[in-house]
C-alpha cells in the first residue's frame, strides 16, 4: 500500500489524549526555570547579589562567584533529576543549538564525581565549525565559543525521558565577532536604552532605564504525521511544492470561528503545559483563517526574554507534536492557495518608572512624551524602511509578502484616523511664530483628542505591515519561522538612532535659546513632515497602493536576494556600527549567510520538485495513460465505433500533454540550476536562483503537475492531497 493510503487508513482511531493534568497554570509556571526566587534558595547571599547585579547592568561576575552560581545551578538541577547540561544558543541557522555534556567527570585518581564549575558555566566551545559564519571564522579564527548570558535565566528542558540543564548563551568568534542572533539583539537593546532614556529625561528625570517589550503571535499549521511523512516535499523543504487546491478551501471561513479539533486541542494542551513549566506566559490559542492553521500568543515580555521564549516554543511545539503523531508546520507558506503563516511582533518601550512610552498618557505632559516616541518611531521606520524589510527577508516569507494575505513588501505605517489628525494638527499649528502660549494650548488640545484614540482601536487595518494598535506597534510582516531577534534588533537600532538624532536636534534649538517644550514641538513637526509619506491608512493589499507607493518613492523589493542588499549599504554600516550593534565585518557576514540560506532553500525545493516529478508524478500518470491506451485499444479491437472511445482519446491527449510538459520543464529547470551552481559570487547566484530557476519554473511545473493530480486515477496518486492533509485528522 502506498504511504498515502497507509496514512489515510491509519487516521481512524487517533483519539487525542492529552497528558496535561488538571493542575492550575500557576502551579506549574516556571517550574523548570532558575528564577530569581529559585536562585535565592540555592545561592549564597554573595552569589545571589552578584547574579542580580549582572542581570541588571551586565556587571561581570568573577570566577569565584561563578563557581558558586554553577554549584547552586547544579544542585537545583540535580534536585530535579538532571544529569546533563548544555550551553543553549541561537546560531544563524535559525534554530537553536545544544551540545550536551554530563556533570559526570573522572578525577586524576580515577574517582568519579558530579561537577559543574564556573568555567563550564561561563564558557564552552561547541564544535562549531558547521555553523554558518559567513566567512568570519575562516578569515579570522577557526573557532567560536559560547558565553553565558546571565540576563536570561537557565532552564531545564525535558527531552523524551531525559532532562538537561540549559544555560542561555551568546555565540562569538575568538576575534570577538558575533555569530548568533542574540548578541546583537542585546547590544541593540543597550543602544535603545541609552537613547530612549536621554529623550525620556526631557519629560521625566526619574527615568533611568528603558526596555523594549515584545509580544509575538505565532501562526502554524498542524497535520497528521503519517501524511507528513508521505510528502517528501514537506519533509525536506517544509512546504508542499505541488498540490491542487481542495474543492473546499478557506472560502467558507468556517475554520476561523470553529472549535479546535480534538487531536489538535490535546496537542495544544500538552505544548502549553511544557511552555508554562519553562516560564513562557502563553495566553491565547485559536484557529486561524486557513484550514488546519492555528495561532498562539503569550503575554508580552522584555524583548530578549520574549525572543528566547519564542525560539524555545518553536522547539517545544515540534517535539510535543511528534508525541501526538502530528507535525507542526512553521513554514511561511506550507500550502499554496490558502493563507500562509506569520509572526506578528507587537513592540513597545517601557520605562523603569512603569510607563509604556507608546501608550497615550493620563496628563498633557505624558501625552507629549507619548507623541515624541510615537513620531520618532514613524520617522525611524520611514528612514530605514529598507533595512526593516531586509530583516524579514527569507525564501519562505517571499511566498507571503505581497500575496494578498500578508502585508506587501512595501513598508508603511498605519496609525488610525485620530492619530493622523493629531499629526496634522501639530503640523499645521507649530509655526515659526509658535510661542509658549500656543504650545500650552496645543498640548492641552492634543491631550483632549488622544484619549479618544482608545476607541479608535477597533478600527484595525489588517493589511498594514507596521500598525499602531493603541499602545504598541505591530510589525506584521515577520515570517512564522523567523527568529524575532532579527527584526527586533533592527527595530531597536533604528529607533535608537532616530532618538539620538532627535536629542541632537532638540538640544541644538535649546542652545539657540528656544524653550525646551517649544524646541521639542518644532522637531516633532519637522519629523512629521519628513516622514509622512510612510503613513498609509488604506488597503495595503491593493494594486492601487503599489502604484501609489511607487509614486511616493517607497521601496518595494519583492525578493529576498535583492532585499538583503539593504544590510550592506553605507547607510546600514554606519547605523549598526555607530550604535555598537554590528560591525562592518559582522554585517557582511550576516548578509552572506542570509543569501546562502536563500540559495540552499530554493535549491532544495528545486531538487525535490524534480525528484517528485520523475519518481512519483510521472510514473503514476503513465500508469493511468496505459490504462487509457488499453481501454481505447480494446474498444477498437472488439469493433466498437469511434464515438465509444472519443472521450478517452481526448483525456489521453490531455494527459500526455501534461506529462510531456512536466518532464520537459523539469529537464530545463535542471539545466538552469547547473548554470546557477557554477556561479561564484553568492549574491549573483541567489539572484539567478530566483530569476532563472524559481520564477520561470516553479509555478509552471506546478501548474502541469496539479492538472495531472486532478486527472490521474485517485488510487494511483502517491502524494497525499490537500483535502487529506488539511481536513482529515
Ligand atoms: P489583540 O491583538 O488580540 O487585541 P492585544 O492587543 O492585547 O490582543 O495583544 C496582542 C499581543 O500584543 C499580545 O501578545 C500582547 O501581549 C502584546 N502586547 C500588548 N501590549 C504590549 C506592549 N506594551 N508591548 C509589547 N507587546 C504588547
Ligand atoms: Mg495581531
Residue bearing the CA closest to ligand 1, atom 7: 299
> Which ligand neighbours the alpha carbon of 470 most closely?
1
How far apart are the C-alpha atoms of 52 and 319, rounded to whole Å?
Answer: 33
Give the residue, 418 or 530, on which the prediction is more confident: 530
What was the pLDDT predicted at 14? 64
Atom of ligand 1 nearest to the CA of 298: 14
pLDDT band at 142 (very low <50, low <70, confident <90, very high): very low
Q: How many CA atoms lie within 13 A of 427 on its CB side?
A: 13
How far apart are the C-alpha atoms of 666 and 242, rounded to whole Å?
Answer: 13
Radius of gyration of the chain measured on its C-alpha atoms: 29
Helices (H), 570-693: 570-578, 584-612, 618-637, 646-677, 682-688
Q: How many CA atoms lie within 13 A of 315 on its CB side?
A: 21
| Mean pLDDT for the stretch of residues 88-117 | 82
What was the pLDDT predicted at 185? 97
Residue bearing the CA closest to ligand 1, atom 11: 215
Q: Which of 537, 363, 348 is nearest to 446 (CA)?
A: 363
CA of 348 to the centre of ligand 1 (A): 9
> Which ligand neighbours the alpha carbon of 211 most closely?
1
Q: How many CA atoms lie within 13 A of 596 on its CB side?
A: 15
Atom of ligand 1 nearest to the CA of 470: 6
Ligand 1: which of 210, 346, 351 to mutate, judged by most atoms within 8 Å of the beta carbon?
346
DSSP state of 615: I
Cell (9 digits) for 544: 492601487
pLDDT of 210 above 50:
yes
What was the pLDDT predicted at 458? 46
Percentage with pLDDT > 90 across the chain: 69
> Which ligand neighbours the alpha carbon of 472 most closely?
1
Q: Are 296 and 344 in contact (CB under 8 A)?
A: no
Residue bearing the CA closest to ligand 1, atom 1: 469
What would the pLDDT profile of 291-306 be if each residue is shown by its tens digit? 899 999 999 999 999 9
Is the torsion defined by CA of 92, 97, 103, 106 positive or negative? Answer: negative
Atom of ligand 1 nearest to the CA of 469: 6
CB of 460 closer than 6 angstroms to any ligand 1 atom: no
ipTM of the complex: 0.95
How far apart are the C-alpha atoms of 515 and 252, rounded to whole Å?
Answer: 60
CA of 476 to the centre of ligand 2 (A): 7
What was the pLDDT predicted at 614? 97
CB of 218 closer than 6 angstroms to any ligand 1 atom: no
How far apart are the C-alpha atoms of 41 and 273, rounded to whole Å?
Answer: 24
DSSP state of 108: T
How far apart are the C-alpha atoms of 690 and 493, rounded to whole Å?
Answer: 30
Cell (9 digits) for 186: 542585546
pLDDT band at 260 (very low <50, low <70, confident <90, very high): confident
What would the pLDDT profile of 647-682 be if each residue is shown by its tens digit? 999 999 999 999 999 999 999 999 999 999 999 999
Atom of ligand 1 nearest to the CA of 214: 25
pLDDT of 586 above 60:
yes
Q: Which of 168, 159, 200, 186 is nearest to 352 (CA)?
A: 200
**Mean pLDDT taken over the chain:** 91
| Mean pLDDT for the stretch of residues 449-471 | 75
pLDDT band at 582 (very low <50, low <70, confident <90, very high): very high
What would the pLDDT profile of 345-371 be if each residue is shown by its tens digit? 999 999 999 999 999 888 888 899 999
What was the pLDDT predicted at 465? 93
What was the pLDDT predicted at 140? 44
Query: Could you tell me the domains of the chain?
Result: 31-180 (3.10.20.70), 189-582 (3.30.590.10), 597-727 (1.20.120.1560)
| Mean pLDDT for the stretch of residues 140-168 | 83
Distance of CA 462 to the CA centre of its chain: 18
Atom of ligand 1 nearest to the CA of 346: 26
Q: Which of 625, 607, 595, 591 is nearest to 712 (CA)?
A: 625
Burial group, residue 710, by CB count within 10 angstroms (0-12, 13-18, 19+): exposed
What was the pLDDT predicted at 381? 98
CA of 536 to the centre of ligand 1 (A): 22
CB of 346 closer than 6 angstroms to any ligand 1 atom: yes
What was the pLDDT predicted at 603? 97
| Mean pLDDT for the stretch of residues 677-688 | 96
Q: Are 35 and 43 in contact (CB under 8 A)?
A: no
Amino acid at each position: 500500500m502506498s504511504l498515502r493510503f497507509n496514512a489515510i487508513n491509519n487516521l481512524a482511531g487517533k483519539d487525542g489524549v492529552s497528558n496535561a493534568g488538571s493542575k492550575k497554570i500557576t502551579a506549574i509556571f516556571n517550574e523548570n526555570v532558575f528564577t530569581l526566587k529559585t536562585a535565592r534558595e540555592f545561592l549564597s547571599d554573595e552569589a545571589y547579589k552578584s547574579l542580580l547585579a549582572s542581570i541588571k547592568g551586565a556587571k561581570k561576575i568573577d570566577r569565584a562567584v561563578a563557581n558558586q552560581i554553577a554549584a547552586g545551578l547544579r544542585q537545583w538541577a540535580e534536585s530535579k533529576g538532571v544529569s546533563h547540561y548544555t550551553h543553549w544558543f541561537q546560531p544563524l541557522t535559525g534554530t537553536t543549538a545544544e551540545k550536551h555534556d554530563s556533570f559526570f567527570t573522572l578525577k586524576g585518581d580515577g574517582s568519579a564525581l558530579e561537577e559543574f564549575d564556573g568555567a563550564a558555566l561561563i564558557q564552552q566551545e561547541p564544535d562549531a565549525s558547521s555553523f554558518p559564519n559567513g566567512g568570519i571564522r575562516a578569515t579570522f579564527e577557526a573557532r567560536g565559543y559560547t558565553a553565558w548570558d546571565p540576563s536570561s535565566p537557565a532552564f531545564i528542558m525535558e527531552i523524551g525521558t531525559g532532562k538537561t540543564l540549559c544555560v542561555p548563551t551568546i555565540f562569538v568568534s575568538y576575534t570577538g565577532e558575533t555569530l548568533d542572533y542574540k548578541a546583537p539583539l542585546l547590544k541593540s537593546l543597550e543602544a535603545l536604552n541609552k537613547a530612549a532614556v536621554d529623550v525620556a529625561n526631557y519629560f521625566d528625570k526619574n527615568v533611568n532605564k528603558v526596555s523594549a517589550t515584545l509580544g509575538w503571535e505565532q501562526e502554524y499549521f498542524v497535520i497528521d504525521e503519517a501524511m507528513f511523512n508521505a510528502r517528501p516535499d514537506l519533509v525536506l523543504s517544509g512546504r508542499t511544492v505541488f498540490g491542487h487546491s481542495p474543492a473546499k478551501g478557506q472560502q467558507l471561513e468556517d475554520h476561523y470561528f470553529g472549535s479546535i479539533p480534538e487531536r489538535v486541542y490535546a496537542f495544544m494542551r500538552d505544548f502549553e503545559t511544557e511552555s508554562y513549566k519553562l516560564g513562557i506566559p502563553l495566553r491565547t490559542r485559536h484557529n486561524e483563517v486557513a484550514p488546519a492553521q492555528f495561532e498562539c500568543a503569550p503575554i508580552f515580555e522584555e524583548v530578549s526574554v520574549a525572543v528566547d521564549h519564542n525560539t524555545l516554543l518553536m522547539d517545544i511545539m515540534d517535539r510535543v507534536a511528534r508525541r501526538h503523531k502530528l507535525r507542526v508546520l512553521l513554514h511561511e507558506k506550507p500550502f499554496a492557495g490558502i493563507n500562509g503563516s506569520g509572526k506578528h511582533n507587537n513592540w513597545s518601550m517601557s520605562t523603569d518608572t512603569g510607563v509604556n512610552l507608546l501608550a497615550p498618557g493620563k496628563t498633557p505632559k505624558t501625552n507629549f512624551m507619548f507623541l515624541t516616541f510615537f513620531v520618532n518611531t514613524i520617522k525611524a521606520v520611514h528612514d530605514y524602511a529598507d533595512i526593516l524589510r531586509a530583516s524579514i527577508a527569507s525564501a519562505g516569507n517571499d511566498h507571503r509578502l505581497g500575496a494578498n494575505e500578508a502585508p506587501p513588501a512595501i513598508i508603511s505605517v498605519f496609525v488610525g484616523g485620530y492619530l493622523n489628525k493629531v499629526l496634522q494638527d501639530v503640523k499645521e499649528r507649530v509655526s515659526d511664530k509658535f510661542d509658549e502660549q500656543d504650545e500650552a494650548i496645543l498640548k492641552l488640545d492634543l491631550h483632549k483628542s488622544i484619549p479618544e484614540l482608545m476607541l479608535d482601536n477597533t478600527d484595525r487595518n489588517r493589511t498594514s505591515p507596521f500598525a499602531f494598535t493603541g499602545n504598541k506597534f505591530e510589525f506584521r510582516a515577520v515570517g512564522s519561522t523567523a527568529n524575532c531577534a532579527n527584526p527586533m534588533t533592527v527595530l531597536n537600532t533604528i529607533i535608537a538612532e532616530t532618538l539620538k538624532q532627535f536629542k541632537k536636534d532638540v538640544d541644538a534649538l535649546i542652545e539657540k535659546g528656544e524653550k525646551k517644550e517649544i524646541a521639542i514641538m518644532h522637531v516633532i513637526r519637522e519629523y512629521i513632515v519628513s516622514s509622512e509619506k510612510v503613513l498609509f491608512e488604506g488597503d495595503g493589499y491593493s494594486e492601487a497602493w503599489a502604484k501609489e507607493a511607487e509614486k511616493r518613492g517607497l521601496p518595494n523589493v519583492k525578493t529576498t536576494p535583492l532585499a538583503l542588499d539593504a544590510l550592506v549599504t553605507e547607510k546600514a554600516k554606519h547605523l549598526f556600527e555607530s550604535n555598537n550593534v554590528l560591525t562592518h565585518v559582522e554585517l557582511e557576514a550576516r548578509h552572506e549567510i542570509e543569501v546562502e540560506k536563500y540559495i540552499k532553500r530554493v535549491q532544495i525545493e528545486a531538487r525535490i520538485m524534480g525528484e517528485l516529478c520523475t519518481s512519483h508524478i510521472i510514473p503514476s500518470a503513465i500508469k493511468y495513460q496505459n490504462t487509457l491506451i488499453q481501454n481505447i485499444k480494446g474498444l477498437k479491437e472488439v469493433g466498437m465505433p469511434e464515438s465509444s472511445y472519443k472521450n478517452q482519446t481526448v483525456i489521453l491527449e490531455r494527459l500526455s500533454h501534461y506529462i510531456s510538459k512536466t518532464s520537459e520543464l523539469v529537464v530545463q529547470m535542471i539545466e538552469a540550476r547547473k548554470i546557477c551552481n557554477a556561479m561564484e559570487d553568492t549574491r549573483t547566484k541567489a539572484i539567478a536562483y530566483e530569476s532563472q530557476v524559481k520564477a520561470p519554473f516553479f509555478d509552471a511545473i506546478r501548474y502541469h503537475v496539479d492538472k495531472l493530480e486532478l486527472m490521474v486515477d485517485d488510487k494511483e496518486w502517491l502524494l497525499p492531497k490537500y483535502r487529506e492533509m488539511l481536513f482529515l485528522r
